[in-house]
Amino acid sequence: MAATESLTETTTLKVGDEAPDFTLPSATTPDPVTLSSFRGQKNVVLAFFPFAFSGTCSAQMPSYQADLERFNSYDTQVLGISMDAKHSLAAWAKQLGITYPLLSDFYPQGKVVDLYGVRHAAGMAERALFVIDKNGKIAWIHVHRPTGEAPDNEELFEVLRKLG
């Protein structure tokens, strides 16, 4: 699959479905984050990623930090999600200067990853993006294969522009 090809579904979800709600601990904010708390207020980009401290993830996640003002201009909250422990994510975020919420799907291992159908065959999260609109519906899905490819933020901004 080309890096620019988006999907309309995963093994569990499709575009138009209500995004499954969750609450996960954040490594970068003091309180846990609940997806439904953004409903009616902000679009959400869920950025699932395989591992903190890996090369591609260490390029991908700071790219969202660099574009936070643009995401804010589209009333959009970025949430990074991996199966790494909260403490590992906190150290990595500090090293990279990431301030948006990085969420730990560590315990029970991969519960949200499985809800969204993005568990890689090797056990970790796929590199996957979901755009969720202000009504809590999935507007766009993109699973990046091979996992070594870094996503392009311009695709996200195009989707967000269409949401208005």
One digit per residue, the tens of pLDDT, for the chain of length 164 reads 334 445 677 878 999 999 999 999 999 999 999 999 999 999 999 999 999 998 888 889 999 999 999 999 999 999 999 999 999 999 999 999 999 999 999 988 899 999 999 999 899 999 999 999 999 999 999 888 664 566 689 989 999 999 98
CATH number of the CATH domain containing 70: 3.40.30.10
- Residue 32 belongs to a domain: no
- Residue 157 belongs to a domain: yes
Number of structural domains found in the chain: 1
pLDDT digits (tens, 9 = 90+) for 82-111: 999 999 999 999 999 999 999 999 988 899
- Residue 123 belongs to a domain: yes
- Is the previous residue joined to 101 through a cis bond, with omega within 30 degrees of 0? no
- Residue 84 belongs to a domain: yes
- Residue 143 belongs to a domain: yes
- Whole-prediction pTM: 0.92
* 57 catalytic residue (yes or no): yes
pLDDT digits (tens, 9 = 90+) for 16-27: 999 999 999 999
Domain region containing 57: 1-21+50-164
Q: Which of 19, 46, 52, 57 is catalytic?
A: 57
Helices (H), the chain: 55-66, 68-73, 86-96, 111-115, 153-163
